[in-house]
Amino acid sequence: MEISDLITSEAVIANLKATSKKQALQELARRAADLSGLHERAIFDTLLERERLGTTGVGNGIAIPHGKLAQLDRLMGLFARLERPINFDSIDERPVDLIFLLLAPETAGADHLKALARVSRLLRDKGTCEKLRGSDSGEGLHALLTQAENSQAA
């Protein structure tokens, strides 16, 4: 499972404006609905349901909200760099400014977990995160996400 299989340049938001976790999830659900054809509310409800189990704010300013949707036919991701960091109830209590949303079909099983692990590995790299925080264009962010993956594989 490669990052480039999950995310297209249209699925990258360079300066997401959000002042809260809920607002960020709503904006991401709206964008995911536009890209997937699914209902925004179904995506948002799935994300909220997952957050109730425990925060997806994994620390170091990163959140990886995720969920499964029966209507989805493939794994898909969205990446957002927030204009300003927000409280995301992260495990380290630090505000979040990088969010990678991952949606999977209900039948994805191990593929969903492999994709989550891939995203987590990518965003654990401090150098990659510094570059992501320093870029303010969607194309640049997309290139960094997909190039970082290739350099990690080498």
Active site residues: 66
Give me the residues paired with residue 99 across strands.
Answer: 63, 80
Structure tokens at 46: 């799935």
Backbone phi, then psi, for 75, in 5-degree steps? Answer: -70, 140
Backbone phi, then psi, for 90, in 5-degree steps? Answer: -65, 155
Residue for token digits 């870029």?
135
* Angstrom distance (rounded) from CA 113 to CA 104: 10
* Angstrom distance (rounded) from CA 65 to CA 9: 19
Q: Helix or strand or coil: residue 110?
A: helix
* Angstrom distance (rounded) from CA 39 to CA 1: 26
Strand pairing class (96-105; 76-86): antiparallel
